[in-house]
A and B are shown apart, each in its own frame.
Chain A
Amino acid sequence: MLIAFFADIHANRQAFEACLAQARQRGAERYVLLGDYVGYGADPIWTTETVMALVADGAKAVRGNHDQAIDTPSGSMNVEAQVALEWTRGVLGAAERQFLSALPMTQRDGDRLYVHAEASDPEKWIYVQSTVEASRSLMATDAQMSFCGHIHQPALYSLSSAAKMTAFTPVTDVPIPLLPGRRWLAVLGAVGQPRDGNPAAAYALLDTDKRELTYCRAAYDVEAAADRIRKAGLPVWLAERLFRGT
């Protein structure tokens, strides 16, 4: 079975549509959504409704910090993020808000764990940016494979039976065998606001039969997404960074 993973969509309709289309074309049969559906981008209603429809259809979804901040404002966000969230609060309907605040922090799916940030204390929203956080996250679960997002840069960590951590920056479209003798933490790049220098939307595909994970990139109409952000009156910087992927 082929499972598609999407993290940090951030109300970027054009990017999410491109990823969904590519994933379907490559044969994805199930979907996992790793949080932060809103914030930054200009299409929170369409994005949330699409996620709701996927979940109604069997997809698994967890809550991200931006989703939570809709109802529980956070003091630790930067100005642009807060401005975008303020705007998002104004446009989202009650049903969408209700859906976002009711999402679980983590989901367990067989030998897989889904969570938005580091798993040992998900509500602290800790970035997995090195083997230190990755190790803590893997120690907090007995799942063989963990999947998270939040940092907007793709990475793959593994923990060997001798408790050694390895880190790896995945290469687009090269399937990586997730060897069963070790445990793995896949950090997804962002669908809606990539920050690894590549503006293409990031997602991943897991082939559960072959135990192979492939990090994918979908090119999308950045101009259209940026235009929506500018027209919505959101901070221009949020539009500009999409072109650079930073």
Chain B
Amino acid sequence: MVKPLLTAGSMIDGFRLEAAVHRGGMATLWRVTRDGIDTPMLMKLPHIAEGADPAAVVSFEMEQMILPRLSGPHVPKCFGVGDFAVQPYVVMEQIPGQSLLSRLGDLPLPYADVADIGARIATALDDLHRQHVVHLDIKPSNIVFRATGEAVLLDYGLSHHAQLPDLMQEEFRVPFGTAPYMSPEQLRDIRNDPRSDLFALGVLLYFFSTGQRPFGESESLRGMRRRLWRDPHPPRQLRKDYPLWLQEIVLKCLEIEPAWRYPTAAQLAFELAHPDQVKLTQRAERMKRDPWTVVLRRRFNTDLKKPRGKAPVSAQLHSAPIVAVAIDLDAESSGVNEALRLSAQRLLAMLPSARLACLNVRRLGRIALDTTLDEQGHSKQIDRLVGLRHWAAPLKLDEQRLTVHVLEAVDPATAILDFAENNRVDHILIGARQASVMRKLLGSVSAKVAAEATCSVTVVRPRRPSTP
């Protein structure tokens, strides 16, 4: 069947083609309009003529399945999909602004900018992973930013949806992706691990902070496979002033084994947002690549090449939540902090990849000027950090799983809620309101947190003796 040539002014299912804005290898993008819709829109029309790359057809089918099922600020809104039998297309929101590709001329970027970009992309990935999708093609050209700051992830043609048939996997049985960004496990044909996206983000962070790609640009399978055993040059070897915390984060993302990377995008975003709390390991210290003896051992270590068992995307996420516990350091005597510690202990024992953020809110007066020093000249801030670490010490947590934070706010409940939302906390543990006159006057922080949180909240209290 010969289809009429599409030109500006053509109508498809009520969408008017205005101008072709991009012609890529697999599809053409048109700016389109439709009566009653003000949002700027793009129509993606795949190249599926006779003799076209079968991968173009299948990846377009994947995008047609996945895009309409996604929601939220980190994906382009989908306005319609067209039937393959008639005219296949996807219409999506056009995000104004340029993709990260436009920044390539400015590399390397300042370290703080790289961390900020990275945190926003990791936040977007967390949102995507929670919708059961692994992107599998994270790279600068697929990332744009809304005017409001959120990263938007584009192009789901290579993605894996854990609850829908994976047509790419079954059809080709060869790795698909963008060579410099492809994770080792993708090269081994594994498409369902959300940590593959963290690897690609690690490549992007490395590239943006050093100006060099960690694994080069080789497109050959043999060239790409080198990353299965060869580690990249540590960024500090390339830039003498490279911060230790950033090298720690970047090299952790680039670990060959997914299990050695961050367990979730939310945990990576958390680290990028709190550089001062990044636990430095020998990764941060590295100045040279691994010696050849190590590389050879890896090269011939068959364990590493074994494909892993299938675990759904959501299982990986649920095994590694961020738990925040709000500690009132003045409540030591009432037993509530002991009860909180027990609750945290139970939760963390079940989930070895979970991390714990201990929060304390320093209440600021509404009018009075606050000083950060007490009468003896001690820093109140440091005293509280010490207090939080003291509270957490009996948990005997690995340093990498624990962070402490003193928030300053007029309203403690709002401070806790904001922290939870900004850091994608999965679960808040908080002590119940104490039965004192003072507390009654102040109102219940826990009640407000429980009512308004965007995640689960457990309100903890020591068991009271029953009153007759």
The reply to whether A166 and B165 form a contact with Cβ atoms under 8 Å apart is yes
Residue A168 is within 8 A (CB to CB) of chain B in the complex: yes
Stretch at the interface among B25-33, B81-89, B186-194, B451-459: B81-89
A167 to B163, CA, bound (A): 13
Give the residues in chain B near A180, CB-CB below 8 Å: 83-85
Residue A156 is within 8 A (CB to CB) of chain B in the complex: yes
B88 to chain A: closest residue by CB:
A181
With A156-B165, A174-B164, A176-B165 in contact, do A181 and B57 touch (Cβ < 8 Å)?
yes
A177 to B61, CA, bound (A): 10
Stretch at the interface among A26-34, A63-71, A157-165: A157-165
The reply to whether B167 and A177 form a contact with Cβ atoms under 8 Å apart is no
Tally of chain A residues near chain B (CB < 8 A): 18
- Smallest distance from the beta carbon of A208 to chain B beta carbons, Å? 14
> Which chain A residues numbered 149 to 187 have a C-beta less than 8 Å away from chain B?
156, 158, 160-162, 164-168, 171, 174, 176-177, 179-182
The reply to whether A160 and B58 form a contact with Cβ atoms under 8 Å apart is yes
> Which chain B residues numbered 149 to 179 have a C-beta less than 8 Å away from chain A?
162-167, 169-171
Cross-chain contact of B171 among A164, A168, A174 (Cβ < 8 A): A164
Give the residues in chain B near A156, CB-CB below 8 Å: 165
Cross-chain contact of A160 among B163, B164, B167, B169 (Cβ < 8 A): B167
Cross-chain contact of A164 among B83, B163, B164, B170 (Cβ < 8 A): B170
- Extra 14 A-B pairs, beta carbons < 8 Å, given A158-B167, A168-B166: A158-B165, A160-B167, A160-B171, A162-B54, A162-B57, A166-B167, A166-B170, A167-B170, A171-B162, A177-B65, A179-B64, A179-B65, A181-B57, A181-B85
Interface membership of chain B positions 254-296, coded 1 if the CB is closer than 8 angstroms to chain A and 0 otherwise:
0000000000000000000000000000000000000000000
The reply to whether A176 and B164 form a contact with Cβ atoms under 8 Å apart is yes
Give the residues in chain B near A167, CB-CB below 8 Å: 165, 170
Main secondary structure of the interface of A (DSSP, over half): loop
- Smallest distance from the beta carbon of A158 to chain B beta carbons, Å? 6
Give the residues in chain A near B171, CB-CB below 8 Å: 160, 162, 164, 166
Sampled A-B contacts (22; CB under 8 Å): A158-B165, A160-B54, A160-B167, A160-B171, A166-B165, A166-B166, A166-B167, A166-B170, A168-B164, A168-B165, A168-B166, A174-B163, A174-B164, A176-B165, A177-B64, A177-B164, A179-B64, A179-B84, A181-B57, A181-B84, A181-B85, A181-B88
A166 to chain B: closest residue by CB:
B170
Interface membership of chain B positions 57-94, coded 1 if the CB is closer than 8 angstroms to chain A and 0 otherwise:
11001001100000000000000000111001000000
Residues of B within 8 A of A (CB): 54, 57-58, 61, 64-65, 83-85, 88, 162-167, 169-171
The reply to whether B164 and A181 form a contact with Cβ atoms under 8 Å apart is no
A239 to B343, CA, bound (A): 42
Give the residues in chain A near B166, CB-CB below 8 Å: 166, 168
B64 to chain A: closest residue by CB:
A179
A155 to B419, CA, bound (A): 43
A177 to B82, CA, bound (A): 13
Give the residues in chain B near A162, CB-CB below 8 Å: 54, 57, 171
With A164-B170, A165-B170, A166-B171 in contact, do A181 and B165 touch (Cβ < 8 Å)?
no
Give the residues in chain A near B85, CB-CB below 8 Å: 180-181
- What are the 6 tightest A-B residue pairs by CB atom distance, in nearest-first order? A181-B84, A166-B170, A168-B165, A171-B163, A174-B163, A164-B171
Give the residues in chain A near B54, CB-CB below 8 Å: 160, 162
Give the residues in chain A near B84, CB-CB below 8 Å: 179-181
Give the residues in chain A near B164, CB-CB below 8 Å: 168, 174, 176-177
A182 to B171, CA, bound (A): 12
A181 to B169, CA, bound (A): 17
Interface centre among B165, B169, B170 (most CB of A within 10 A): B165
Give the residues in chain A near B61, CB-CB below 8 Å: 179, 181-182
> Which chain A residues numbered 104 to 122 have a C-beta less than 8 Å away from chain B?
none
Give the residues in chain A near B162, CB-CB below 8 Å: 171
A160 to B57, CA, bound (A): 10
Give the residues in chain A near B167, CB-CB below 8 Å: 158, 160, 166
A179 to B86, CA, bound (A): 12
Give the residues in chain B near A161, CB-CB below 8 Å: 57
Give the residues in chain B near A179, CB-CB below 8 Å: 61, 64-65, 84
- Smallest distance from the beta carbon of B157 to chain A beta carbons, Å? 14
- Smallest distance from the beta carbon of A22 to chain B beta carbons, Å? 20
A176 to B161, CA, bound (A): 11
A233 to B64, CA, bound (A): 53
- Smallest distance from the beta carbon of A47 to chain B beta carbons, Å? 32
Give the residues in chain B near A164, CB-CB below 8 Å: 170-171
- Smallest distance from the beta carbon of B190 to chain A beta carbons, Å? 17
Give the residues in chain B near A176, CB-CB below 8 Å: 164-165
A166 to B61, CA, bound (A): 13
A161 to B55, CA, bound (A): 12
A55 to B54, CA, bound (A): 43
- Smallest distance from the beta carbon of B174 to chain A beta carbons, Å? 13
Give the residues in chain B near A171, CB-CB below 8 Å: 162-163
Give the residues in chain B near A166, CB-CB below 8 Å: 165-167, 169-171
A21 to B88, CA, bound (A): 38
- Smallest distance from the beta carbon of A61 to chain B beta carbons, Å? 28
Give the residues in chain B near A158, CB-CB below 8 Å: 165, 167
A161 to B48, CA, bound (A): 12
- Smallest distance from the beta carbon of A157 to chain B beta carbons, Å? 9
- Smallest distance from the beta carbon of B42 to chain A beta carbons, Å? 21
A158 to B54, CA, bound (A): 15
